[in-house]
Amino acid sequence: MAKKKTQGRVRKVRSEERGYRSKAEQERYYQRIALIAIGVVVGLVALILVYALVNDLIFVPEQSITTVNDTGIKTKDFQERVRAERWFLSNEVVEAIELSGGNEQILQALLSGLPPIPPPYSGDPVSFLQDDRAFARDVLEKMELTVLLEEEADRLGVEVDEGEIQGQVDEYFERWTNVELTPTAVPSETPEMTQTPTPLITATASSTPTATEPPTSTPLPTAADCEEGEDCPTVTPEPSLTPTEEPTEVLETLTPTATNTPLPQNQLEATFDSFADGFYDEANEVAEVDHEAVRDIFYLRALRAALRAEVTKDLPDEAVWADTRHILISSGVEDDGTQDTTTFSPAVCDTEPWVASKAEADEVYQALLDGEPFAAMALAVSDDPGSGAEGGNLGWADVENTYVEPFAEAIVNADIGVVLEPVCSQFGWHIIQVLDREIREVPEFQLRQERQTQYDEWEQDLLLNADIERREDWTERIPEEPTYEELLGDVIGVAEQ
C-alpha cells in the first residue's frame, strides 16, 4: 500500500511541475517571445542599414572606380568631377544662349566653339548632357587620361604651375565676359585669312609658247620738241585729276569705325573678380562642388597645353614649297586591285601591269629628252586630267603636306629644271619637272593645326598602351544630381531649336 501511495505523490508533483500555465501567463510568455523576435529583426535591420550607410558614405567613396597603371581613381573624386563637369557644360550652354540674344546663327557659332564633345553628340551639348552614361564615360576617360598625362609630364620634366592654370581660367572668362584682361592691338585671326596658298602658273610653266594678242595701239603724247619720224620717248599719260564736288563727305565715308577703348586695369580686374566669384559660388550652390573641383577642369587644359608644346617642339616651322609640273601615266594600273591611294608599298611597282605602264612612261620620258614640249605631251598623254589640261602644271604647293611621299621626295631632291625619270607612287608613274623651289615659313594657323594633330596622335598612343581597369559596376556609381533639367531649366527648349 505504501508503494502505491508513494507513486501517486510523484505523479502529482510532476503534474504540478508540468502543469499548464494559466491563460494570462501563456499570453505573457508568447509576448516576450514575440518581442525578442521583433528585437532581433529590428537589430538585424538596423545593422544592415548602418552597414549600408557606412558602406555608401565611407567605404564606397574610397573605393577605386578605375585603375590606371596601378594608380586608382576614387569613386568620390569621380562623382564630384561628374557633378562639376555637368554644371560646367550646362553653364556654358546658358552663357551661349544669353550672349546670342536669340540669334540662332550666333548661338550655333558659340556652341560650336565649346571644347570637343565626343560623337554622336558633337556640336549638341544638350543631348550630350541628357545621356548620363555617355557623359559620365567621357568624364571618366578624362580622369584616366589625366593620370597618364601626369606620368608623362614627370617623365619629360614638364611642370604645370599655378600661373598656367590661371591662364586657362582667364582665357575662359575672357570668352564669356567679352573683356580681355591683357588686351592686345594685334588681331589674332587676320593672318590666318591670308595664308591659304594659291597655285601659281608662272611664265616658265609651259614650254609651248602661247599666242598673245598685240597690245591695242593707243596714241601717246610725244615729248616736247620731238619731230615726227624721230625716236621719241613716250610719255605715259597720267590719270586726270577730277576733283569731287564734296571731298569732305568722301573722307567721312572712309573714316574707320571706332574701336573699343580698353578699360582701366583696375576695372578689368574688378570685372573678372565679380564674374569669378559668381562662377564658383554657383558651382558650389548648384552642383555642390568646391573651387578645386572646378579648377581641375582648367588644370587638365593647362596640362595638355604644356605637354603639347613639349611633344611638338621639334615640329618644323618652315616648309619646302615647289612650283612643279608632271605627266601621270596610270593606264592599266587603276583597276588592277593593287592601287591604294591611302597606303603604298614600293613592291607593287615591280608587278604587272605596273611594269607595262612603266614602259609607256619611259617612252614619254625619252620623248621629252628628245625635245618634245612638256606642256604638249602633258596635254596629250597625261592621265591626270586636272594638271594635264594646264600643261602638267601643279603650281606652287607645300611639298610635304600636299603630295604623297614618293612624289614629294622626288621634288625635294630634284635639280631645278631637270626632267626626272618616271617616279612610282600609288597613283601610277610620274614624269616630274621642278620649275622652282624655296623655303617658306609655315603659317601660324597651319602650324597650330599640325601641332594639334601630332599631339592628338600621341595622346591616343598613350591610351592604347595604358593598363586601365574599370569596375564592372562603375555606371551604378554615376551621381544623379544635379540633373540637366535642373541645370538648364527653361533654356532647354531654346537650345534644342
Q: Could you read off the pLDDT tens digit of each residue along the chain, which spans 497 residues?
A: 455 554 545 454 444 455 556 777 777 877 888 888 888 888 887 777 766 665 566 777 899 999 999 999 999 999 999 999 999 999 999 888 888 888 888 888 888 888 889 989 988 899 999 999 999 999 999 999 999 999 999 999 999 999 999 999 988 988 887 766 554 444 444 343 333 333 333 333 333 333 334 434 433 333 344 444 444 444 333 433 444 444 434 333 334 444 445 556 666 677 767 877 888 899 999 899 999 999 999 999 999 999 999 999 999 999 999 999 999 999 877 655 555 566 778 888 988 888 999 999 999 999 999 999 999 999 999 999 999 999 999 999 999 989 999 999 999 999 999 999 999 999 999 999 999 999 999 999 999 999 999 999 999 999 999 999 999 999 999 999 998 888 887 676 544 54
Strands across the sheet containing 64-68 = 71-74, 64-68, 468-470
d(CA 294, CA 172): 12
The grid coordinates listed for 242 are: 577730277
Cβ within 8 Å of residue 126, ≥6 positions away:
93, 484, 488, 492, 495, 496
Please name the helix (run of DSSP H) or strand (run of DSSP E) that holds residue 111, with its range, or none.
helix 104-112
Please name the helix (run of DSSP H) or strand (run of DSSP E) that holds residue 327, with its range, or none.
strand 318-329
DSSP bridge partners of 396 = 323
Sign of CA dihedral 94, 96, 101, 107: negative
| pLDDT of the residue at 129 | 92
Predicted TM-score (pTM) of this structure: 0.66
**Residue 228 is which amino acid?**
E
Cβ within 8 Å of residue 86, ≥6 positions away:
129, 135, 287, 482, 484, 487
| pLDDT of the residue at 265 | 65
d(CA 145, CA 152): 11
Question: Across the chain, what does the average pLDDT equal?
Answer: 79
pLDDT digits (tens, 9 = 90+) for 213-232: 443 443 333 334 444 444 44
Please name the helix (run of DSSP H) or strand (run of DSSP E) that holds residue 98, with its range, or none.
helix 75-100
> Distances from the Cα of 91 to the Cαs of 122, 270, 424, in angstroms?
17, 21, 55
| pLDDT of the residue at 175 | 83
Please name the helix (run of DSSP H) or strand (run of DSSP E) that holds residue 395, with its range, or none.
strand 393-398
| pLDDT of the residue at 168 | 93
With the CA atoms of 109, 113, 118 and 121 taken in that order, what torsion angle do they form, in degrees rounded to the nearest 10?
Answer: -20
> Distances from the Cα of 114 to the Cαs of 69, 107, 110, 127, 174, in angstroms?
31, 11, 7, 14, 14
| pLDDT of the residue at 489 | 76
- Does domain 319-441 fall under CATH 3.30.750.24? My reply is no
| pLDDT of the residue at 158 | 96
